[in-house]
A and B are shown apart, each in its own frame.
Chain A
Amino acid sequence: MDYFLELFLGGLTRGSIYALIALGYTMVYGIIELINFAHGEIYMIGAFTALIVASALSLMGMSGLSLLILAGLVAVIYSSAYGYTIEKIAYKPLRQAPRLSPLISAIGMSIFLQNYVLLAQTSDFLSFPALIKEFEFMEPISHIMRSSELVIILTTLVSTALLTLFIKFSRTGKAMRATAQDKTMAMLLGVNVNRVISVTFIIGSGLAAIGGVLISSHIGQINFYIGFIAGIKAFTAAVLGGIGSIPGAVLGGMILGWTESFATGYVSSDYEDVFAFGLLVFILIFRPAGILGRSTSEKV
């Protein structure tokens, strides 16, 4: 039973991270119908920035929770800045282009950013400081759940709740929904579509950075390549839940996390990705628009 719980919580943690990254995918896709392949790189840049800031600050003698918050904050700011800039350079000039062109530009951007970090920093694995210390009250259950797992799950819950509220009730959120529904119409009604798209990229990138910082601190090491695989997994999660839907991204992330965790625990860690993608194919056969996605019938 303990083993099951451990796997369950491990899957929940993993799923939370996937969900945080998947939110960025889903929001961007919902608005400009682009699979932003560079999104995984944003997550990686977030983790690197946090590592650099945390190392620099800890050498200056800072430690504890303030270090985590400060490093996380800087990572979020920088990732958002990167997300904003990437959109301006690689996607904005392609608004009117054929559909696949921004996709290729995104793949190019992803290659560029990976090699940028590789050249600016290092190709080796860097050890990431454990920014989240073990809490005392977690002592009795520490064999099934680490404190960092608790922090990751709670952070995801809070971020998702805040995001949902933001999209539901804020003015910008309303503009985002309008743009997602019909860009031209939103523009006609006075929504600044370019601004909305920028805000979407900024929020999505910020969430990815939160995910990056938390999981790196949990696992303990990073390199320039982590964004790629995480990006693909998160995109899978977004599609699984129904791309464009925010609860869908969270649900998809959780399902993916659990599948991987249980497959690793009960079958073999070699095949965890096979199970993940197999599940995706299986679900899409029965629900072609994802679990929570609405399948729109095409009007003629």
Chain B
Amino acid sequence: MAAKWRPLIDKITGEFTKSLLVSAWFMFLTFPLMVIKVRPLERTIEWRWMNLVYIGVGAFFLSFIWRYLMSRKDGGGSEEEGESWQKKAGLRIRTDKKIYLPGLAAVVAFIVIFPFIFSGYQTQIMISALMYVMLGLGLNIVVGLAGLLDLGYVAFYAVGAYCYALLNHHFGVPFWIALPLCGALAALFGILLGFPVLRLRGDYLAIVTLGFGEIIRLILENWNEFSFGPSGIAGISRPDFFGMELSLREHTIYLYFIIVMLVLFTILVVSRLRNSRIGRAWIALREDEVACQAMGIDKTKTKLTAFALGATWAGLVGCIFAAKTTFINPASFTFMESAIILSIVVLGGMGSIVGVMIGAFILILLPEYLRAFSEYRMLAFGAAMVLIMVFRPQGIISGIRQRYEFHRAGQPEGTR
């Protein structure tokens, strides 16, 4: 009897010691920062021993969960199953009309009535989430399709926002005329950035784009005569609706529908682009630059269109951002913003439109609804980013690569 239980007991004690060690390690690690608090003015030290206990107990239990999840992830089997389940469900939803049509109708109905049943505040949050959907889809062109790591995407967002703000401030240009101008100007900046970095690869490209983003922000911050410096531009007019007077609430609803339309437009364009000649050129460029050139694809043109088209969306969203907040200043366009947009793309699943949308909703709505935990929300946000990546490195929705396969006679197309 005892022999039978022996391995199990060994296993339990083994796991127990492991967790104990992890717990001790984290207690050591967090000791100076969590326990000691210096008050420089009173020249005293506060010892917070209770924190050490929390950390110890927390690390002990979390390490069990961590190891369990790790073993499940490494097991592989369940992962594979989940993948095919996801694929099957996706296929089912897309092909079966009985699910597809009512589902779509429900989504459309929800989108339409959303601003009427929820408060203005909720609508505002939803508008920002949708703005990030657009930004994510735009960056997805550059990073997800063309494989160019852009860490300064926020620069184009800033260009769009300032374009509308300045045009409106100086010349009173209305929103609808400014919108395409913002997109075009951002595209121009995309090409401007694209030219010098054509020869760069991978991470060199990343740092140059990051630098470009910072340069734009610093210029906006310091060139007071042009951009009004850190104090920003206030009193930007909201979009006008055939010259009618709208209340703040109506303005919000109106803006909500504008952004919904633009998101739909973006989805349409991006999904059409992906299967177009240029879209395939981007994917080919991402996979292998040398082979791509050997196939006769113009590398310069392909890269520049990726930058320009990606930047266009950022410019459009920037214009909407300026119209939404009616006030902009350079502090809205820091590197952190670029990092968040990039996270949306990677977290959701690179190259996948649905993935990017889910990523945007998670990353924008999560901090909003975590406000209940106010000060811990950014801590939880950072931790969530790490955990999602560790347990789903390919993103929430892994991009479905288009594959061409030979099918045996009789086997219908699309069963895989």
Contacts and interface: CB of A to CB of B under 8 A. Distances in A.
B206 interface: yes
A300 interface: yes
A162 to B, nearest CB: 26
Interface of B: 25, 28-30, 32-34, 36-38, 40, 43-45, 51, 70, 73, 143, 149, 196-197, 199-201, 203-204, 206-208, 210-212, 214-215, 218-219, 221-222, 289-291, 335, 339, 342-343, 346-347, 350, 375-376, 378-379, 381-386, 389-390, 393-395
Given A108-B383, A108-B384, A284-B204, A59 B43 contact: yes
B36 A236 contact: no
A100 B44 CA distance: 45
Given A105-B389, A281-B208, A281-B211, A97 B33 contact: no
Given A104-B342, A236-B211, A289-B204, A300 B350 contact: no
- Chain A contact residues: over half helix, strand or loop, or mixed? helix
Given A101-B346, A289-B204, A300 B211 contact: no
B212 A78 contact: no
B211 A288 contact: no
A163 to B, nearest CB: 22
Contact of A56 (B25, B30, B36, B379): B36
Interface in A253-300: 268, 270-271, 273-274, 276-278, 280-281, 284-285, 288-290, 298, 300
A24 B199 CA distance: 26
Interface stretch (A9-17, A44-52, A140-148, A188-196): A44-52
B393 A101 contact: yes
B346 A104 contact: yes
Interface stretch (A62-70, A115-123, A165-173): A115-123
Nearest to B195: A285
A298 B151 CA distance: 24
8 contacts: A48-B32, A52-B36, A90-B389, A90-B390, A97-B393, A108-B343, A270-B218, A281-B196
Interface residues of A, number: 70
A270 B206 CA distance: 24
Interface of A: 29, 33, 35, 37, 45, 48-49, 51-53, 55-56, 59, 74, 78, 81-82, 85, 89-90, 93-94, 96-98, 100-105, 107-117, 119-122, 126-127, 232, 235-236, 239, 243, 268, 270-271, 273-274, 276-278, 280-281, 284-285, 288-290, 298, 300
Contact of A121 (B29, B33, B70, B346): B33
B33 A116 contact: yes
Given A90-B386, A126-B40, A288-B201, A103 B196 contact: no
A144 to B, nearest CB: 28
Contact of A35 (B33, B206, B291, B393): B206
Contacts of B390: 89-90, 93-94, 105
Contact of A111 (B211, B350, B375, B378): B378
A112 B289 contact: no
A196 to B, nearest CB: 21
Given A29-B203, A98-B394, A55 B38 contact: yes
Contact of A280 (B143, B211, B393): B211
